[in-house]
Amino acid sequence: MFKPLRNWLLQQDYLTLIAFILIFAMSACMNFSSDTWWLLRTGQDIFQQKSIITTDLYSWTNLNAYWPNHEWLTQVLMYLIYAIGGLGLVVIAFALIVTLTWLIIYRLSPSSSKVTLLLITLGIIDNISAWSIRPQIISFLLFISLIMLIRQPKLHWWIVPYMLIWANLHAGFVIGIVLLGLVGIAAIIKREAIVHWLMIGIAAVSATMINPHGYKLWLFTLNSLDSSTYSFIEEWRNQSLSNLTSYPFFVLVGVVGLVWYKKRYKPSTSYDWFLMLATLLFGFMAFRSVRQSIFFDGLAVLFLAQMLAPKQQLTNKATKAEPMQLILVGISSVIALILALFVWNQREPLLSEPIIAALEQCPGNMYNSYNIGGELIWFAPQKPVFIDNRFDPYPKDFMQANVTMEQTGEYQALFSKYSISCAIVENNSPLDTTLTSDGWQRQSNNQSYSVFYQP
């Protein structure tokens, strides 16, 4: 089923090549997230110290507390990529990950090339909101690649070391185990290979225990799957019709339901059952938590492609590329490169040098808003943060108190408790307004943030 990449490229029409060039270009425009920066800093420290960091070294409010750092391998890899080629190479690496993920989805599809590209477009419209430089993108690739391994009987036992690696890259490995559980259910329904998948499942779960935290990583990860635990974080909230960014998700769900109804689709093979069960489960998970929609998007495209597949398997015949087709591919590549470079040049750092200098000169304890903590960990390494969006090391009540303060601007109790003498907050936020009205001195500011000193 999977041929060498060179042979595959020779068989594709120019529309397919252009589509994936554009996917790469779009993904090369993905934003840095606040996660990007603390991931790089932690990777740098792990590399330099030659030991895995499992305590909080970056905040002064939670210093040396236990940190279930489940992304240590991703952090090291990101830092090494950065050390070799800077931020540009980091962006290219993640753009390639996104492109490769959708390429695998394309290859897994039994539908025609044009139908598959249409479905991929539908999936990407929802998926693109999750594109940023963070480990979840890696888990998306691993998630789809696991489905590829499931489709290949000769590769089934490679799933065990695969899950070991995933467990050290990102806590998203749990959803890989969920997929294996669904494969087992499908095997029971079809009464085939039950013992085979049971053995692989047990071995895979055991392999995930080989990480710096052992079985405790499972406890942390399962707790985080409960979206109510971090409901005050936007990406952990439910999908909602009152939120425009949720509309692509609901459209995709509607298309799946409509095609299912029109086709009167009934699964026949164990893979059909697996794909149907996975789409239903992850659709529910994505509804409960926006964070999970990235995985549902890929499954929905595969499930739609399965339902729309012709009864007879399609075969692709290699054709000689026409000169005009090659010209169109070349033009598309140039346009894609220009687009990516334009977006890259438009990026402005959230933290300017005057902002960093004002923070470093702060005479006492510093407060920072939740969203800026990651940048501070990288760009102002000498200044420990109050909070950041790792969220793993921080007590839930501490995070909730901070969210309430940021939403209301009522800072007095929290600032008094922690003896805050300077603060960096978002411009025009409730906290910005309150600090200004109470006479705090605006020491420095840029287009996004302001630094205040206590009067």
d(CA 116, CA 172): 26
Residues 250 and 370 in one domain: no
123-175: per-residue pLDDT in tens?
999 999 899 999 999 999 999 999 999 999 999 999 999 999 999 999 999 99
Q: H helices of 191-269, where?
A: 194-208, 216-224, 247-263
Residues 395 and 258 in one domain: no
Residues 90 and 227 in one domain: yes
Residues 278 and 162 in one domain: yes
- Asked whether residue 342 is domain-assigned, the answer is no
The residue with greater pLDDT, 431 or 2, is: 431
Residues 358 and 240 in one domain: no
Contacts 24+ apart (CB under 8 A), 88-91: 88/344, 90/36, 90/40, 90/133, 91/28, 91/30, 91/133, 91/344
- Asked whether residue 323 is domain-assigned, the answer is no
Residues 233 and 87 in one domain: yes
- Asked whether residue 51 is domain-assigned, the answer is no
Residues 249 and 161 in one domain: yes
Residues 110 and 200 in one domain: yes
- Asked whether residue 60 is domain-assigned, the answer is no
Residues 253 and 386 in one domain: no
Report, as an integer, the average pLDDT of 63-68.
Answer: 92
How far lies 154's CA from each of 32, 151, 182, 204, 208, in Å? 38, 9, 19, 16, 22
- Domain limits for position 136: 68-308
pLDDT, averaged across the chain: 88
Asked if residue 406 has pLDDT above 70, the reply is yes
Q: Please report the pLDDT score of residue 363 as a whole number.
A: 84
Residues 304 and 176 in one domain: yes
- Asked whether residue 223 is domain-assigned, the answer is yes
95-118: per-residue pLDDT in tens?
999 999 999 999 999 998 889 999
Instruction: Name which of 232, 180, 241 is nearest 206 in CA terms.
Output: 180
Asked if residue 209 has pLDDT above 90, the reply is yes
From 274, 308, 342, give the residue that closes a domain.
308
d(CA 100, CA 94): 10
- Asked whether residue 163 is domain-assigned, the answer is yes
Out of 2-11, 59-68, 309-318, least confident range: 2-11
Neighbours of 427 (CB within 10 A): 13
Share of the chain above pLDDT 70, in %: 87
From 308, 341, 369, give the residue that closes a domain.
308
Q: Please report the pLDDT score of residue 7 as a whole number.
A: 55
Q: 3-state SS of 344-413? A: HHHCCCCCCHHHHHHHHCCCCEEEECHHHHHHHHHHCCCCCECCCCCCCCCCHHHHHHHHHHHHHCCCHH
- Asked whether residue 369 is domain-assigned, the answer is yes
Q: Please report the pLDDT score of residue 308 as a whole number.
A: 93
Residues 258 and 377 in one domain: no
Asked if residue 365 has pLDDT above 70, the reply is yes
Total number of domains constituting the chain: 2
Q: Please report the pLDDT score of residue 166 as a whole number.
A: 98
| Confidence band for 436, pLDDT divided at 50, 70 and 90 | very high
From 271, 293, 308, give the residue that closes a domain.
308
Asked if residue 51 has pLDDT above 50, the reply is yes
- Asked whether residue 25 is domain-assigned, the answer is no
Q: Please report the pLDDT score of residue 448 as a whole number.
A: 86
